[in-house]
Amino acid sequence: MVAVLLTGASRGIGAASARRFAAAGHNLLLTARSSAALEALASELRPMGVRVETACLDLAEPAGISAGIQELCSRGLEPGVVINNAGAAWTGPLAEMPLERWQWLFQLNLTSVFQVSQAVIPLLRRNGGGLIINVNSHAARNAFTDWGAYCASKAALSSLSRCLGEEERPHGIRVSTLTLGAVNTPLWDSETVDSSFDRRAMLPPEQVADALLTLAQQPPTQVVEDLTLMPAVGAF
């Protein structure tokens, strides 16, 4: 059976997307760090008539990613759509950023996407193709003071997505990015992130979930290489 694999599924964009895809009748493979939050979400979704499999997976720990994804996909559901949604933020001057924080941020925002993609590509190829959607940020195209590491990781994700799309095109695997302006998610509650402003103008996670479903519903004969979604008030 074909399913949607979604990382960072327990809250924010991930949880909203899981609900949206389940409502549309899609089976789900969900990963996040919190097993309790995942199981609570799965219990909410299963009465909708879809199958939901979960795996507790910390994408900041590279050693366990490939095996964790492969185990999740061995339970009778294989992904036809893969949404790399998990990510993190750290703010502060580049000149003062600890190396371990830089490496942690790039692991979550870039390298884990590479690892998840590597783990699922053999399955997608075997099944004749599929779709990988990488959730990105408009920070990939801009420079913001104290957000340098985040901007760099997202710019690298844009390049990774384009290169992966070129390499996998002959195998029927399409790669899209969803590039987002500010979304009202727990990212803004991170330790170093300043969120002392009105967040009501940000995109709600449910609108992002709708955009992800739109991308997933594109026919296999076409690919939306990048869809950009911004708050109507502009960039922030």
Domains annotated for the chain, with CATH where assigned, are 2-229 (3.40.50.720)
Cα 129 to chain center, whole Å?
19
Measured CA to CA, the distance from residue 106 to residue 84 in angstroms comes to: 14
Predicted confidence at residue 218, as pLDDT, reads: 97
Predicted confidence at residue 40, as pLDDT, reads: 97
Distances (CA, A) of 93 to 25, 97, 99, 145, 182: 45, 6, 12, 7, 20
Measured CA to CA, the distance from residue 142 to residue 144 in angstroms comes to: 7
Name the burial class of residue 108, with classes exposed (0-12), middle (13-18) and buried (19+) by CB atoms within 10 angstroms of its CB. buried
Predicted confidence at residue 198, as pLDDT, reads: 62
Q: Which two tokens stand for residue 41?
A: 């979400």
Predicted confidence at residue 195, as pLDDT, reads: 57
In the residue annotation, 150 being an active-site residue is answered as yes
Active-site residue, from 21, 150, 179, 215:
150
Mean pLDDT by runs of 10 across the 236 residues of the chain is 92 97 98 96 98 98 98 97 95 96 97 98 98 97 95 98 98 98 76 62 93 97 97 72
Tokens 């979930």 sit at which residue? 209
